[in-house]
Amino acid sequence: MRRIDARSLRGLAHPLRMDILEAIELDGPATSTTLSARLGESTGTISWHLRLLADHGYIEEDVERGTKRERWWRIPGRTVLDPSEFRDDPDTSGALDVYLRHLVERYFDRVRTYVDENWPGEWQQAASLSDWRDLHLTPAQLTALNEELGTVIDRYTKVTPDGPAAERIIVQLQSFPRRSTPTPEPDPS
């Protein structure tokens, strides 16, 4: 696991680099040519952004694939971002804002894609679009909840697909505080 620092956050906080990284995360190792076709950008532009992502440690060359003319890129491991480390730093707060906003848009687009697709009933029944609004937790309790949920999800990432009916699954978890809306004062008249 690798922690994102200020320098690497600035290197990542670009919509195309985030799209490239997501494409590799979701579909596995890729070349600049395959990414170019998927993302609608020139191979030169994609190659430049791939090198930047590699310089910051987000991807690495997959030397077991390709040739000298065809470079494959993969993600070496999980990265972790702690937004609290950057919120009060004027040099990185803009990059953090770009990164988080693009991330939220990606999450939304994934859910919208699922909703727009016509999945068989068994998959629609198995999937979940849920939220829980009645929790009242401290920061320590929310941290513990997220760690427990992460442990359960990690356990399932090690499960071998059981048969041809297995599909790739995305689990999105957003857990965050919500400020209460003030109750309006009653009209005295």
The model's confidence at residue 189, banded by pLDDT at 50, 70 and 90, is low
Q: How many helices (H) and strands (E) does the chain have?
A: 7, 5
Domain boundaries of the chain, sorted by first residue: 2-117, 126-178
State the pLDDT at residue 183. 67
DSSP codes of every residue in 5-73: -HHHHHHH-SHHHHHHHHHHHHH--EEHHHHHHHHT--HHHHHHHHHHHHHTTS-EE-TTS--SS--EE
Tell me the pLDDT tens digit for each residue of 140-179. Answer: 999 999 999 999 999 998 888 887 888 888 898 888 888 7
d(CA 142, CA 137): 6
Tell me the pLDDT tens digit for each residue of 176-188. Answer: 888 777 766 777 7
State the pLDDT at residue 18. 93
Tell me the pLDDT tens digit for each residue of 77-86. Answer: 888 888 888 8
Contact (Cβ atoms closer than 8 angstroms) between residue 31 and residue 24:
no
CATH of domain 2-117: 1.10.10.10
Q: What is the pTM of this model?
A: 0.75
